[in-house]
Amino acid sequence: MPAGDAGQKISRCGILMGVVCLLLLQLTSVQNSWSKTDADYYKLYAHTLVIDYKQFTCLEKLWMKESNWNPLAKNKKSSAFGIPQILGLKEKNPMKQIDLGLKYIAHRHETPCQAWAYWMKFKHY
């Protein structure tokens, strides 16, 4: 690939990431409502952190089962809250919820796919 093509590819990637960041900045706090469109933005943010497509697919399935990607989701049987349904979570910002959920997965299961496999067996992670 000629050097100019590589520079254009990097430049396009940078522009795309800038647009993604601007969209995500609009979602830094949750109001008292939630929509499927919001969930798509949260998934986009999570995908920028979990770049491997297979791992992101596992994460998407896991959090779809846990909360339907709703940052306001509350578990009626426990103190689990938010997108990742972490026990005792008080964080309202969906992006921070995603960050905390990924840290939890890394600590407890190493990867989203291992967390998903655990969820499939025990119905929690």
Rounded Cα gap, residues 10 and 6, in angstroms: 6
For the stretch 30-63, pLDDT in tens is 556 667 789 999 999 999 999 999 999 999 999 9
pLDDT for 50 equals 97
pLDDT at 47: 97
Average pLDDT, the chain: 86
Quick one: CA dihedral 51, 93, 111, 73, positive or negative? negative
Q: Is the pLDDT of residue 26 over 60?
A: no
Examine the pLDDT at 103 and tell me if it is beyond 70.
Answer: yes
